[in-house]
Structures are given as C-alpha cells and as structure tokens.
Structure 1
C-alpha cells in the first residue's frame, strides 16, 4: 500500500469528521500549501499553524455548512490527486456556492511537501458578494 495515498485518504476522512488535528497529521513545518489566486484565501502558507490560521479557521468563521466532497482519489505514487466539490453558504451574504475542485498533493514518505488547489474561484467569490 502507498503510504502517500493512505495519508491523503486519511486527511479527507478527517475532513469529513471536521477533525482538524487529524487533517494536519501529514503536514510538516515545511509543507507549502497554495490556495488558488482569486480564491478568498488565496496565497501560499507554510506549516500547519499558518495553514490553519489562513485557511481552515477563516472558512469555519465565514462559511456555514462548508464541505469538500471527495469524488475521486488518484494514486500517482508521489503525487496524489483529489477531485471533488466544494459547497457552503457564506454567512455574511447567505449565498450558497458549489464549485468543482482539484487538489494536487506532492508527497514524500507519507508527508505533504506541496499542496495546490485548483477551482472555479468565481463561483466561490460570487457567494461572498
């Protein structure tokens, strides 16, 4: 079994449970996490503290019923691809959104080296306006 694939599979299972600590298990102090330009939390964050503060904490504060629904997980050995859908309701506007998304995970020995998100940022941003 590929430890890289298993680590990301476990990350998504923890996400479904809203277990941030377990989600961060494969993240290291050097993990580079990039949210796509145009996304409300766009930028690159290094390490779990920055990722939690810059992405997950803000999502929790600003969105209701925010979720990522995994549709497909592709084992590329050192590169794992997660394909799914974001959904949620932006609290300030009460607008809902649904957007397809691809996550690219570059891995080494079950740990995340780089993460990059690709999504239709306009669908997400429109809900915030």
Structure 2
C-alpha cells in the first residue's frame, strides 16, 4: 500500500474514533470535497472549514451514530484511493435508521488530500430522513 492509502486509512480510523481534527489532519488547505447530487448535503465544499461546517458538523448534529465504515480500500498507486463501504446511522428528527453502500474516490498529492468525491444510494439516505 502507498502513503496515499495510509492517509485515507488514517482518516477513516479518526472518523471511527470521532476525532474531527484527525479526520482533516492531512487535508490540503484547498481540498475539494464533493457530496453527490441527491445527497442531503450535496455540493462541493472547498477548504477544511467549509467541509467541517457543511458536512461533518451537519452529520454530527442531525444523525445519531453516523458512521462511514470502509470494507475495502483500493490503492490506485497514482494518488487515487477508493474506499468502498457502508454508511449507517439514525436520523434524529425521524428516528429512522439507514445502512447504505458507498464508494469514495480520494485524491492525494504530496501527502495531502486534495479531493474527495462520494457515490451512494441517496434515495436510501433520504428515506431515513422523511
């Protein structure tokens, strides 16, 4: 596995611990984070502060026990790393739970995460919210 793969594994491990600072430790200042169309927080967030506020902060406030658990990490060895796994959690406002498969495409350059793109079944996420 490459350094890029190790960085992404460390991100998921920090997420599992609830360590927000650890999650963003290797993020470039201008990292671009894209949540797919149809996802509740859809859009591209640029920079750590925007990602914390627009994605991680909202997930923490709106979901009980939200987690992104990778089942597999695929190392593209060119700075591209793919995480394949499941989201799970309970939406606080409805009390409904979900478990949704995801694919995350990560871009790492010079030891820093420069990009992230999410793919998942947004319908199943929204069904827990309705």
Q: What band does the TM-score fall into relative to the shorter chain?
A: over 0.9
Please name the residue that 1:73 is paired with: 73
Structure 1 residue 44 and structure 2 residue 32: aligned? no
What runs of 5+ residues in structure 1 fail to find an aligned partner? none
Structure 1 residue 83 and structure 2 residue 66: aligned? no
What runs of 5+ residues in structure 2 fail to find an aligned partner? none
The 5 Å alignment of 1:14-29 reads: 14-29=14-29
Cα distance, 1:21 vs. partner?
0.1
Alignment: residue pair count: 129
The 5 Å alignment of 1:112-127 reads: 112-127=113-128
The 5 Å alignment of 1:54-69 reads: 54-69=54-69
Kept in 2, the 8 Å contact 1:84–1:100? The answer is yes
Structure 1 residue 4 and structure 2 residue 4: aligned? yes
The 2-side partners of 1:14 and 1:36 are apart by 23
The 1-side partners of 2:56 and 2:114 are apart by 18
Cα distance, 1:103 vs. partner?
0.4
The 1-side partners of 2:48 and 2:70 are apart by 22
Please name the residue that 1:99 is paired with: 100
Moved over 3 A (4+): none
The 2-side partners of 1:59 and 1:89 are apart by 10
